[in-house]
Amino acid sequence: MRNVKLIIQYDGARYKGWQKQTENIKTVQGCLESILSSMTGEDVQLVGCGRTDTGVHALNYTANFHTNSNMVVEDMERYLYKNLPDDIAVISVKNASERFHARYNILSKTYMYRINNGQVKNVFDRRYVHRIDEKLDLDKMRQCAQVLVGTHDFQSFTTLKSKTKSTVRTINYINILENEGIIEIEVNGNGFLWNMVRIILGTLIQAGNGKIIPDDVKNILDAQKRADAGPMVPANALFLKDVEY
């Protein structure tokens, strides 16, 4: 049996996230599994590198599946190109080692969020960029971001309800860059809790608005209460940028 690795791009606007749900709920995983099953004549179970929320996009999402099919990867690429909807693309198909697992072998993930903070709205970017009219203080955002870098209990930064799962994660870096009014925030870590990135971003925007300072962020971490952190940012401007193995 072969292990096949996919690199996938998708526009998440029409989907209820990555993870397959009931048959009448449109998800990226469900769509891909249906087409892969038709391609191989097997019941394909696709392993993804993690969940993405409803409306979140991916530039380089990694997944793998096992198959007895003898179809070469070039023919798989052509089949998927022809049969996938316009908002999902498989940009790479490769044979992987038997031990490769798209979720368990991850070293880090990078998410990117885009904010239009310039003087003029861009009507063509509005579906993929979060518009903020008030000028953000990027230095204050960077100072607060540094408090979150490292290994912490991020219970304040998740909507996860379970009391049995660990909420400790490691953030390797948070980069905040600006170019002609477009702010790009990259968050890289060893893993993320449910809605964690969106809550971190909402908290950093509060810093940019002058509502909180680095000491407040430390207190939010220590409190371990979701209500103390910032609001979740809209999902439409969030992209899974890269996964490192």
Catalytic site residues?
53
Q: Would you tell me the crossing angle of helices 196-208 and 138-148 to the nearest 10 degrees?
A: 140
238 - beta bridge partners? 113
Residue whose C-alpha is closest to residue 4's, from 73, 75, 50: 73
How far apart are the C-alpha atoms of 159 and 161, rounded to whole Å?
Answer: 6
CB atoms within 10 A of CB 245: 12
Q: How far apart are CA 44 and CA 122, in angstroms?
A: 41
Backbone φ and ψ for 220, nearest 5 degrees, come out as -65, -45
Write the CB contacts of 4 (distance below 8 Å, at least 6 apart in sequence).
Answer: 64, 65, 66, 67, 73, 76, 93, 94, 95, 96
Structure tokens at 173: 């870096």
Q: Is 213 exposed, middle or buried (0-12, 13-18, 19+ CB in 10 A)?
A: middle
